[in-house]
């Protein structure tokens, strides 16, 4: 498959309506274009379950869809395993649990349906393109890409944000919300705070064109 365009969508956080409108607006063609999600599909917003249902369905219908893991998905795993049941709730996880609880038919049903867990378990830490690295939070400066830790790729902020370090390719990231997309020499940030009443953003390559929808 020859890729004509690549679309990269920022942190969704349960904002299903905005996501659907953004997909319609960008006119993504699965047979020609690549679609990448940068992670943080869940938490804080009202329909995390719906977002997982929608995005996982896209991955089944098109081979050109790639999905990264965000720190909120990692926190959900830690919550479900019992490793850390507090951090997730303190970071908006209650909204996700409620969205799934509403859809349960009985207490015997698993809270997270197996197909959704399968999708969440398939998420990858990064995607490499010819001229770009795509990662949820960023990279630690002065550390080779192959030696980056999953923790940093999901959680890093200031050490990455304030650095002018050249990683060899431009790094496209989410995780840290901005009012508008951030474009710097070594990085581009596309989390524009959809769940905080701002906009959901998509970066189109190779044009470096931004698309966004408001609540």
Contact 161, 141 (CB under 8 A): no
Give the CA distances from residue 22 to residues 17, 50, 80, in Å, rounded to whole numbers and listed in that order: 9, 15, 31
> Can you list the domains of the chain with their CATH numbers?
6-213 (3.60.21.10)
Furthest CA-CA distance within the chain: 52
Q: What is the rounded distance in angstroms from the CA atom of residue 215 to the CA atom of residue 53?
A: 20
pTM reported for the whole predicted model: 0.95
> pLDDT 10s digit of each residue in the chain, 215 long?
688 999 999 999 999 999 999 999 999 999 999 999 999 999 999 999 999 999 999 999 888 999 999 999 999 999 999 999 899 999 999 999 999 987 676 777 888 999 999 999 999 999 999 999 999 999 999 999 999 999 999 999 999 999 999 999 999 999 999 999 999 999 999 999 999 999 999 999 999 999 999 99
Tokens encoding 190:
């596309």
């Amino acid at each position: 498959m020859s890729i004509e365009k690549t679309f990269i969508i920022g942190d969704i956080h349960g904002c299903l309506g905005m996501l659907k409108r953004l997909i319609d607006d960008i006119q993504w063609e699965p047979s020609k274009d690549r679609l990448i999600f940068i992670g943080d599909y869940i938490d804080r917003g009202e329909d995390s379950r719906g977002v997982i249902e929608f995005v996982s369905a896209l991955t089944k219908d098109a081979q050109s869809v790639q999905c990264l893991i965000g720190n909120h998905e990692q926190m959900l795993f830690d919550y479900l395993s019992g490793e850390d049941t507090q951090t997730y709730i303190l970071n908006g996880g209650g909204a996700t649990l409620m969205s799934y609880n509403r859809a349960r038919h009985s207490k015997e049903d698993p809270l997270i349906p197996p197909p959704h867990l399968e999708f969440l378990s398939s998420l990858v830490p990064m995607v490499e393109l010819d001229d770009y690295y795509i990662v949820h939070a960023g990279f630690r400066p002065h550390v080779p890409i192959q030696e980056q830790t999953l923790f940093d790729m999901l959680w890093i902020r200031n050490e990455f944000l304030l650095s002018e370090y050249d990683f060899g390719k431009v790094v496209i990231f989410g995780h840290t919300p901005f009012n508008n997309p951030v474009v710097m020499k070594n990085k581009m940030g596309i989390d524009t705070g959809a769940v905080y009443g701002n906009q959901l953003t998509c970066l189109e390559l190779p044009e470096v064109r931004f698309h966004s929808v408001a609540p």
